[in-house]
């Protein structure tokens, strides 16, 4: 697993959440470093902040998809915002999670995306199946 988070305190908190269950291969602090590390390390899962310097998490996801990186990507944000969540999934992400709920949702979200399913936080307040059809043109394989 690769983690991309520009806030050092948040990065440490996220590391603490995931390292009991997953092998964390690297933590980077900006979108450009994310693209470089993901291309080199080819992790199964990437957890990335949407708002990062140099490239946003959404821009980095698009770049990774263009270069053929097939990692499952979960994008994190401070906002339970439906249009941003839909854009995140259209960019090629497998999940969208609000940082406020990361302690409770991150590990289950990672497990969902590793199974090839899509994870969208219930905090956005929309029916998951409808949301997934609207944003990706197909239903998700997972439940929330």
pTM for the model stands at 0.86
> What confidence score (pLDDT) does residue 127 get?
54
> What confidence score (pLDDT) does residue 126 get?
58
pLDDT at 53 over 80: yes
Residue 59: both structure tokens together:
């821009």
Residue 92: both structure tokens together:
């090629």
pLDDT tens digits along 72-115 = 999 999 988 888 888 999 999 999 999 999 999 999 999 999 99
Cα(124)–Cα(86) distance, integer angstroms: 11
> What confidence score (pLDDT) does residue 82 get?
87
Q: Where are the alpha helices (DSSP H) in the chain?
A: 8-18, 31-41, 57-66, 82-90, 102-114, 128-136
pLDDT at 144 over 50: no
Range 120-129 average pLDDT: 71
3-state SS, residue 142 = coil
> What confidence score (pLDDT) does residue 142 get?
38
Q: How confident is the model at residue 135 (pLDDT cuts 50, 70, 90)?
A: low
The domains of the chain are located at: 2-136
CATH class, domain 2-136, is alpha beta
Residue 83: both structure tokens together:
């249009």
> What confidence score (pLDDT) does residue 140 get?
41
Neighbours of 5 (CB within 10 A): 25
> What confidence score (pLDDT) does residue 117 get?
92
């Amino acid at each position: 697993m690769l983690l991309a988070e520009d806030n050092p305190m948040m990065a440490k908190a996220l590391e603490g959440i995931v390292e009991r269950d997953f092998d964390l291969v690297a933590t980077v602090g900006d979108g450009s470093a994310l693209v470089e590390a993901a291309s080199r390390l080819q992790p199964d899962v990437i957890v990335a902040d949407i708002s990062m310097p140099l490239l946003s998490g959404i821009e980095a996801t698009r770049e990774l998809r263009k270069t053929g990186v097939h990692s499952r990507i979960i994008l994190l944000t401070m906002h339970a915002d439906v249009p941003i969540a839909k854009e995140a999934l259209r960019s090629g992400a497998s999940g969208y999670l609000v940082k406020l709920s990361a302690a409770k949702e991150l590990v289950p979200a990672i497990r969902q995306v590793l199974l090839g399913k899509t994870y969208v936080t219930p905090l956005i307040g929309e029916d998951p199946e409808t949301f997934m059809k609207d944003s990706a043109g197909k239903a998700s394989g997972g439940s929330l």
